[in-house]
């Protein structure tokens, strides 16, 4: 489904309208910083990026594990399309030199209002991306919960 998003967003019409801009990022450069606000969504055109998020531990300690790597055709930052004032939920950093398609939320919204057929296709595809990510997050959370029960010896009492 992300391929459908990529095809629509890479269209000449969108790029010529100024909705999408190609951006280059060198390895280890930050694209999105967790906690910042922003109204941009990105598609990986070349290279790869790593998504990570701060995890707070006891006594003020924390770690920032990588959640996933995204490759060519993958979309990220989609929540910025609808929550421009909301804080970014993760940091995204280029793993290697990467080319990204940056999509401006305000310009895309205007385009979708003017072209509801394209808007419907895009929103439907993005909805599938978000649902897939939610499903994977649920699976990871369940696995971590099971791990915690086993690590504490609780699972044997259930």
Question: 135: domain CATH number?
Answer: 2.60.120.10
Q: Residue 100 domain-assigned?
A: yes
Q: What is the predicted pLDDT for the residue at 45?
A: 92
Q: Is residue 54 part of a domain?
A: yes
9 pLDDT higher than 60: yes
Q: pLDDT higher for 13 or 105? A: 105
Q: Averaging pLDDT over each range in 23-32, 54-63, 78-87, 126-135, which range is the top one?
A: 23-32
Neighbours of 142 (CB within 10 A): 10
Q: Are 43 and 1 in contact (CB under 8 A)?
A: no
- Does any domain span residue 126? yes
- pLDDT score recorded for residue 26: 98
Q: How many distinct structural domains can be found in the chain?
A: 1
Burial class of residue 52 in the structure, from the number of CB atoms within 10 Å of its CB (0-12 exposed, 13-18 middle, 19+ buried) = middle
Report residue 122: phi and psi, to 5°.
-65, -50
Q: Is residue 46 domain-resident?
A: yes
Residue 1 reports pLDDT greater than 60: no
Domain that residue 95 falls in? 2-147
Q: Is the pTM of this model over 0.85?
A: no
pLDDT digits (tens, 9 = 90+) for 61-79: 666 667 889 999 888 988 8
Q: How far apart are CA 111 and CA 38, in angstroms?
A: 19
Displacement of CA 90 from its chain's centroid (Å): 8
Specify the pLDDT at position 85. 73
User: Is there a domain that residue 155 lies in?
Assistant: no
Task: Provide the token pair at 156.
Answer: 């044997």
- DSSP per-residue codes, 92-133: EEESSSEEEEEEEHHHHHHHHHH-HHHHHHHHHHHHHHHHHH
- Residue 131's pLDDT band (cuts 50, 70, 90): confident
pLDDT at 53: 84
């Amino acid at each position: 489904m992300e391929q459908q998003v990529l095809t629509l967003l890479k269209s000449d019409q969108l790029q010529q309208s100024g909705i999408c801009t190609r951006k280059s990022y060198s390895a280890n450069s930050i694209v999105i910083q967790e906690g910042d606000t922003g109204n941009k969504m990105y598609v990986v055109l070349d290279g790869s990026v790593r998504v990570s998020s701060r995890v707070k531990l006891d006594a003020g300690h924390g770690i920032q594990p990588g959640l996933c790597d995204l490759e060519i055709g993958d979309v990220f930052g989609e929540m910025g399309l609808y929550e421009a004032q909301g804080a970014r939920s993760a940091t995204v950093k280029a793993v290697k030199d990467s080319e990204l398609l940056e999509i401006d939320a305000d310009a895309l919204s205007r385009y979708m209002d003017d072209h509801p057929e394209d808007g419907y296709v895009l929103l439907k595809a993005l909805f599938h991306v978000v649902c897939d990510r939610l499903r994977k997050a649920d699976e990871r959370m369940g696995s971590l919960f099971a791990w915690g029960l086993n690590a504490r010896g609780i699972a044997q009492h259930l």
